[in-house]
Structure 1
Amino acid sequence: MKGEKYLFVVSGPSGTGKDTVVANLLKKHPEIQHTVSATTRPPREGEKDGINYHFMTRTDFEKHLAEDQIVEHTQYCGNYYGTLRSEIEGRMALGIPVILVIEVEGAGNIKRMYPGATTIFVLPPDMEELERRLRNRGTENEETIQRRLKRAETEIANSVDYDEHVVNVQVETCADSLYSIIQFRLKHGKDE
């Protein structure tokens, strides 16, 4: 599809700070846009439809899936989460750089659908720092932390398929590295 060079997919293990890095990047570079995911979970207090998520019923989500209007999705805690085709293709057609922050499995699906997209993997400085970050969240029990660390090892080992890698030692520096990759790809990338 024309405009694929405008599509950027960011992934990384839980605890690497990928959402924080992308938020920093978007704050400094508002010309780059972030997709709003669709979900079947109910809105939390203060969340707004179309801003935090596109809130849908399970029936609506499944209808969108059947009509091929969702390009990647997952189920978590009994709810669907996914990316609407309209969220990315409209921006690509207009030449607006767009970032998806999604899981590794979803990133592979996006790359198959849009081979001209750029995939970027955010790495922790090392596994000890990743464990420290997960523990400092104070939101998970020991079993969950160990499960996330094990999953991180697998995701890092499989990250060889990503186009680019950045290490999040410091958020601002990592966001600047992300921006440099985006600028390079926009200048030199090829539409498929």
Structure 2
Amino acid sequence: MARMAHRDSKFEFDRRGVLFVLSSPSGAGKSTIARKLLEREPGMGVSVSATTRPMREGEEDGREYHFVTTEKFKELAARHEFLEWAHVFNYRYGTPREPVKKMLAAGQDVLFDVDWQGAQQLFQLEGGDVVRVFIVPPSLAELEKRLRDRATDSEDVIQYRMKRAERELSHWDGYDYVVVNDDLDACFEKVHTILKAEREKRSRKPGLIGFVRERQEEAIEMGLATR
């Protein structure tokens, strides 16, 4: 669990950070929504995964991913240096433990871009501090169109991604929220609203206890308290 607290500005309530998980089938808009969320919430931390897949044009090591060899990945996993890891599209992806723990210690919310396996592992480890959001396309036909329109994958890869999408959709009930991305801006606003609402949960604000007790004492002093 996140032990250090973020403080709300007006009343200085302690608040535990949110581990905010976004998942979706490839092409459903997860990466774009994650980018927009970080633009809207510049103080939010982001978990940069390690991966064994090759670096793509325009990517930078340590920005999109930490690019490592399969041997190095296995070594890190054996030392339990990942919060979660999984095989995705014949490559390995994992969340380094130490950077996330440092962000939590600083009281930051942390954004995760992981698949259903990673979301499940994070929830098992961190419990109530994890909020899981699954983004789905309006139809599989629309998803296939988006994959073809971005023109980055071969036909074999597109078919593989479509088959994997069907499997990923079967895990929809392992998430706290499911949002349909039929309109990118509207979908993003829903995701942002979920984050803001989760921050306001009573269970995330241990500092509220003292505040409410002070109000109760105030009521007694004013002769308003009832038994």
> Please, what TM-score do these two structures have when normalized by structure 2?
0.74
User: Per-residue deviation at 1:173?
Assistant: 2.0
Tell me how large the CA RMSD over aligned residues is: 2.4
Match for residue 102 of structure 1?
Answer: 114
- Deviations 1:98-145, CA, capped at 9 Å, x for gaps: 111111111111111111201100011222211211121223333432
Match for residue 34 of structure 1?
Answer: 46
- Stretches of structure 2 that go unaligned for 5 or more consecutive residues are 4-15, 205-227
Determine which of 152, 157, 178 is the counterpart of 1:139. Answer: 152
User: Per-residue deviation at 1:37?
Assistant: 1.3
**Aligned equivalents of 1:90, 1:24: Cα separation in 2:** 23
CA contact (8 A) 1:124 1:167 kept: yes
Q: Would you say 1:187 and 2:189 are equivalent positions?
A: no
Q: Would you say 1:123 and 2:136 are equivalent positions?
A: yes
User: Per-residue deviation at 1:60?
Assistant: 3.9
Match for residue 191 of structure 2?
Answer: 178
CA contact (8 A) 2:133 2:178 kept: yes
1:1-192 correspondence to structure 2 within 5 Å: 1-3=1-3, 5-41=17-53, 43=55, 47-75=59-87, 79-116=91-128, 117-188=130-201, 190=203
**Aligned equivalents of 2:173, 2:90: Cα separation in 1:** 31
Higher-Rg structure is 2
In the alignment, residue 101 of structure 1 is paired with which amino acid?
D
User: Per-residue deviation at 1:91?
Assistant: 1.5
CA contact (8 A) 1:35 1:83 kept: yes
Task: Give the share of equivalent positions with the same residue, in percent.
Answer: 37
**Aligned equivalents of 2:32, 2:23: Cα separation in 1:** 12
Deviates further, 35-44 or 62-71: 35-44
CA contact (8 A) 2:86 2:117 kept: no
Which has the higher relative contact order, 1 or 2, with Cα contacts under 8 A spaced 6 or more apart? 1
**Aligned equivalents of 2:182, 2:167: Cα separation in 1:** 20
CA contact (8 A) 1:5 1:118 kept: no
Q: How many correspondences in the alignment? A: 191
Distance change in 2, residues 1:174/1:76 (3 Å): closer
- Stretches of structure 1 that go unaligned for 5 or more consecutive residues are none
